[in-house]
Structure 1
Amino acid sequence: MLDRLDHALRTRPDRPAVLAATRTGAPRVRATRGELAELADAYAAALHARGLRAGDTVGVAVRPGPRALAVLLALWRLGLRGAVLDPGAGPEVLRARLALARPSLVLADATAQAVAGWARPLARRARLALPDLGELGPVATVGRRLPGCAPRLDATAPRLGVPVPGADHGDGDAVIVFTSGTTDRPRAVVHTRASLAAGMGTVSSLFGARPDEPVLGGTFFVLVPSLAHGAPVALPARSPKVLARQLHRLRPQGTYLTPPQLRDALRAGAAFTGRVWTGSAPASAELLTRVRRAGAAEAWGVYALTELFPAAAVEEREKAAFDGAGDLVGAPLPGVEAKPDEHGELLLAGPAARHRYLGDDPDPWVRTGDRAHLDGTGRIVLEGRCKDMVLRRAENIYPGLYEPALQVPGVELAVLVGVPAGDGDERLVAVVQPQHGAGERELRSALSGPLRRMGTARPDALLFADIPLSGRSRKPDRAATAQLATARLATAGLATAPRTAARTDGPA
């Protein structure tokens, strides 16, 4: 698919490729197809001139958009492995991930570097945090360079006499995406060139984008197949009001938004056209029905994981007609195998499945962490998650990453749990059991730093309570703790209140 995209960009270089929205929602061309191809060529030449070769790892901290897509194409062409670095993960987590991935170079835009430098106080307000810039290792700036940033990746100087290899590098590693684990043992999904291409091919067959008709969506799995088929892609506006105007003006043939984005857009009065797709978080039949009533010809829920994207899909009418127990997410997509294990956990396999976790042996079966069964027609019906993962606003939060940081002096136990927030979403709650004699005011002060450094995983509420224990080992009972937190928040009227910002001063 990436090879096809590279060819497609060069055949119609003057056509728009990536669009953005003005405040009125009017489309603005961010990059033409030819500009994307030229930028990818320049990045590939610059990386090759720096001595990077097939199999090397490059860290990527670049905001989604034309530059990030050009970086992906350059890495693909050179056979390099890209490690996705998220500024929202917090400095301790990022240090552990960098130590595991060991990138030869980190490509970062000015925004990501500012998070680690002069803009650190502003970044904290946005729940972004990086280690100090010097801890990232060799860094090159992609795009505009601001004061204090690393030197730019020289994508403008001529590279005469430095031949750049083609894109045929077999089936080596293509991308590393960190998902879970702890700061002692981060967990990272490794996709090969074949699995990445297979996933994009599946998305392409699902979307069926038509040339020259815009598509709205910001992920690589939307950008790459759509552009390869000749369709321009509009990046969704962040403001729900502007997004509603953008949808009205653009009238896209297809739209991909997360469930939180859909809910925000609907509240802003958005009208939809064509087919609408949503994933990354549970999408209820009620939400899909609201999207169809707002004008969409079809509204689809996509079941996918970082380890296998996409796995299944279901349209609103089929989902609304399902009256069985559980959450119908649809039939496995072509090439995807699905089966529950002896404990009811859903296992998936297929060409688009990740090759392995970094540092582990390959395994063809992906453990989803979801309890599920297959109905009489082979459709996947979810019954709840097996893992402790909390899913908040389309973001996976793994408690094991952050709970150790909450063990400050005066804390007996601390766990992070998810409580229902309506329409499949969850609130993240830190439940802290003080040591005998410890004052809550002092503990709030001691916990303020660790909570701030959690970045986008910062809890919505902080509760002080005795944590229920279970089993012979008397481990914290997460299910019972979640029930306790749900009851306490409900008593305070916060259980299903809409969130506008993370709260860390909830009821004690």
Structure 2
Amino acid sequence: MLAELIESLREGDDRPALPGATRGELAGLVRGYAVALAHLTPGDTIALAVRPGPRSLAILLAAYHLGLRIAVLDPTAGPDVLRARLALAAPKLVLADAAAQAVAGWAARLARRAHLALPELGAIAPVRTVGRRLPGSPPALRPLPGRLPQPYEGEGDAVIVFTSGTTSRPRAVVHTRRSISAGMTAVRDLVRPVPGAPVLGGTFFVLVPSLAGGAPVAFPSRRALARQVRELNPQATYLTPPQVRAGLAAGARFTGRVYSGSAPVSASLLSAVRRSGASEAWGVYALTEVFPAAAVEESAKASFTGDGDLVGPLLPGVTARVGDDGALFLAGPTAADRYLGEDPFAWVATGDMGRVLDDHSIVLGGRAKDMILRRAENIYPGLYEPSLHIAGVELALLVGVPAGDGDEQVVAVVQTSAGADQRSVRAALRDPLARMGSARPDRLVFAEIPLAGRSRKPDRRATALLAARR
């Protein structure tokens, strides 16, 4: 898929590719950066701290073309964690834009107030600036003239994505050239982009399949999503659930097919997207280790009446098994190879409880570590949370609050939709709560649910602390 995209780009092509670059300009950047990086050896690692845009995408494509691997840096992780992660990745070169360098240097104190921090990058590996360079920054990595080098034809690692872990034991997912291409092919087959019509989405797994299909890509606006959707009229849109909720709250009228993932996607949210004008609304089940794994369309999710959260049929090639304890494991061509420094996966442990239906659909029963222990009974929140997403409820979590002697109370924390009346929502929740049987919560709390991480997932730990305070 990546080789397809590189091959399809032609300098001089003035069709739009993504904000700030035509397809021809993107082709020139890929060629120029490939020439500039050609002194590195296939398998070498480049650490990348560059904001999404034409240059970062061109570097990713150039690195793939040369057989290099990219370690993606997240400046919100904190300098100690990042230092440990970079020590594990052992990059030969760090590429950072001026903003990332400022965060690691003269603006570090100010950046920490905004929860952005990087270690001093030059202490780890040679640093080059990508894009606009500020005084005092390391030399710029400039696209160089010359012919596009011959492509690397072998296998090997492509991308390192850091996930959980501590300063003493970082954890990083390693996708190979094979798995990342399989994942993008799966996205293309799911999204079905057609040439010329825009796609709205900001992830690498959306950019490449869309551009390879001849569709221009726009990055979702943080502040003007509703207007952006109206002006672009996208054929397909990929947003996280918080982005979808923000768009709906701002009055967005979605068009075409809308996909949402990276955090739990409720049936009520997909139904709201359909009511807002989308021709289709899909929930995508994906992990950093398996992207994507399954997908479900709104009508199927809304009509599901069983316990748990239906995330849809497994995508082609993906297989699943359930352990004796109910834990869900996945394997297939879109699965990563391993965690960096560890043995290859036989099966990927999702961390979810689940079951597999006869049609190979997956039903989740919550995160294994989210289990609540009350009166010696194991309660898995994911089995019951979908039933709480009624009209007027935007988000709902079940969390455990310590009750002494190792026992816990179960608290339902409910975030209502804008304009919803809490008294009416409380009355409407009586029946769903009653149907939860022995898992029925001890308390119901109305509050805004905290979010965390780049994908803005509901933060269960912070929600449990909030519930305890209430």
- Shorter chain as normaliser: what TM range? 0.7 to 0.9
- The residue number in structure 2 matching 1:67 is 55
1:96 to 1:425, Cα distance in 2 relative to 1, 3 A: farther
| Structural mapping, 1:354-365, within 5 Å | 354-365=336-347
What is the Cα deviation at residue 425 of structure 1? 6.8
Residue equivalent to 2:425:
none
- Which letter maps to 2:320? A
8 A Cα contact 1:54 1:169, kept in partner: no
Kindly tell me: are residues 281 and 244 of structure 1, through their superposed partners in 2, closer, same or farther at Cα, counting changes over 3 Å?
A: same
Structure 1 residue 52, shift from structure 2 partner:
1.0
In the alignment, the residues of structure 1 paired with residue 18 and residue 303 of structure 2 have an alpha-carbon distance, to the nearest angstrom, of: 37
**Which residue is 2:134 aligned to?**
146
Describe the shift of the 1:115–1:8 C-alpha distance in structure 2 as closer, same or farther (beyond 3 A). Answer: same
Residues 360 and 244 (structure 1 numbering): CA distance in 2 closer, same or farther, change over 3 Å? same
User: Given the superposition, is the C-alpha separation of residues 275 and 155 from structure 1 closer, same or farther in structure 2, using an over 3 Å criterion?
Assistant: same
What is the number of equivalent residue pairs in this alignment?
414
User: Is the 2:11–2:25 Cα contact (8 Å) retained in structure 1?
Assistant: no
Which AA in structure 1 matches 2:227? R
What is the TM-score when the length of structure 1 is the normalising length?
0.75
CA distance in 2 between counterparts of 1:168 and 1:138 reads 24
CA contact (8 A) 1:314 1:330 kept: yes
Determine if contact 1:83/1:175 at 8 Å carries over to the other structure.
yes
Return the letter of the residue paired with 1:132: E
Deviations 1:53-74 (A, max 9, x none): 1010110111111111101111
Preserved contact between residue 283 and residue 423 of structure 1 (Cα < 8 Å): no
Deviations 1:92-114 (A, max 9, x none): 11011011001011111111111
* Cα drift, residue 170 of structure 1: 1.3
Q: Paired residue for 2:93?
A: 105
Q: CA deviation at 1:9?
A: 1.7
SS of corresponding position for 2:185: helix
In the alignment, structure 1 residue 39 sits paired with structure 2 residue 23: no
Corresponding residue SS for 1:152? coil
What's the secondary structure of 2:221's corresponding residue? Answer: coil
**TM-superposed deviation, 1:423:** 4.6
Aligned to 1:205: 189
* One-letter amino acid of the structure 2 residue matched with residue 100 of structure 1: L
The one-letter code sitting in structure 1 at the alignment partner of 2:37 is L
SS of 1:73's partner is helix
Task: Write the mapping of 1:248-327 to structure 2, written as runs, cut at 5 A.
Answer: 248-327=230-309
Secondary structure of 2:158's counterpart equals: strand
- Within 5 Å, give how 1:188-199 maps onto structure 2: 188-199=172-183
Deviations 1:83-135 (A, max 9, x none): 11100111111011011001011111111111112222432233211112333
Query: 2:45–2:71: 8 Å Cα contact kept in structure 1?
Result: yes
Structural mapping, 1:360-375, within 5 Å: 360-375=342-357
User: Per the alignment, do residues 275 and 39 of structure 1 end up closer, same or farther by CA in structure 2, a change over 3 Å counting?
Assistant: same
Scaled by the length of structure 2, what TM-score is found?
Answer: 0.81
Maintained 8 Å contact 1:114/1:120: yes
Separation (CA, whole Å) in 2 of partners of 1:61 and 1:485 = 39
SS of corresponding position for 1:305: coil
Structure 2 letter corresponding to 1:179: T
Q: Which residue of 1 aligns with 2:426?
A: none
Q: Give 1:44 deviation, angstroms.
A: 1.1
- For residue 468 of structure 1, report the CA deviation from its aligned partner: 5.4
TM-aligned CA distance change 1:365 to 1:492, over 3 Å: closer
Structure 2 counterpart of 1:235: 219
Answering whether residue 209 of structure 2 is matched by residue 225 of structure 1, we say yes
Q: How far, CA to CA, are the matches of 2:399 and 2:67 in structure 1?
A: 39
Corresponding position of 1:18: 18
Q: Which has the higher contact order (CA 8 A, sep 6+)?
A: 1
Q: Secondary structure at the match of 2:366?
A: strand
CA contact (8 A) 2:412 2:445 kept: no
| Offset at residue 302 of structure 1 (A) | 0.1
- What residue ranges of structure 2 are gaps of 5+ in the alignment? 372-387, 415-440, 453-458
Amino acid aligned to 2:186: T
The residue number in structure 2 matching 1:6 is: 6
| Equivalent-residue separation in structure 2 for 1:225 and 1:297 (angstroms) | 21
Answer with 164-173 or 379-388: which moved more: 164-173
Cα distance 1:235–1:486, how it changes in 2: closer, same or farther (>3 A)? closer
Q: Report the CA distance between 1:171 and its aligned residue.
A: 1.2
The residue number in structure 2 matching 1:167 is: 151
Shift of 1:8: 1.7
CA distance in 2, matches of 1:58, 1:338: 33
Superposed CA deviations along residues 340-375 of structure 1, whole A, max 9, x for unmatched, are 111111110101111111111112311000000012
Q: Please name the residue that 1:378 is paired with.
A: 360
In 2: Cα distance, 1:385 partner to 1:345 partner: 9
Contact kept, 8 Å, 1:281 with 1:425, in 2: the verdict is no
Deviates more, 1:109-118 or 1:222-231: 109-118
- For the residue of structure 2 that corresponds to 1:13, the secondary structure is coil
State whether residues 329 and 347 of structure 2, in contact with CA within 8 Å, keep that contact through their aligned partners in structure 1: yes
Q: 1:128 aligns with which of 105, 116, 120?
A: 116
Gaps of 5+ in 1: 20-29, 390-419, 432-465, 471-476
Letter aligned with residue 273 of structure 1: T
* 1:81 CA drift (Å): 0.8
Letter in 2 for 1:201: T
Amino acid in the other structure paired with 2:10: R
Return the alpha-carbon distance in structure 1 between the equivalents of residues 84 and 358 of structure 2.
45
Q: 1:310 aligns to what SS in structure 2?
A: coil
SS of residue in 1 equivalent to 2:292:
strand
User: 8 Å contact 1:283–1:424 — kept in the other structure?
Assistant: no
One-letter identity of the residue aligned with 1:6:
I
Match of residue 335 from structure 1: 317
Measure, in 1, the Cα distance between the counterparts of 2:302 and 2:278.
15
Amino acid at match of 1:218: G
Contact 2:354/2:364 (8 A) holds in 1: yes
Q: CA deviation at 1:214?
A: 0.5
Aligned residues of 2:241 and 2:261 also touching (Cα < 8 A): yes
Please state how far the C-alpha of 1:154 moved relative to its aligned partner: 2.7
In structure 2, C-alpha distance between the alignment counterparts of 1:500 and 1:103, rounded to whole Å = 31
2 CA distance for matches of 1:296 and 1:212? 19
Report percent identity of matched pairs.
60
Amino acid at match of 1:207: V
1:59 counterpart SS class: strand
- Identify which of 413, 437, 448 aligns with 1:497: 448
Corresponding residue SS for 2:9: helix
Q: 1:263 to 1:120 in 2, by over 3 A?
A: same
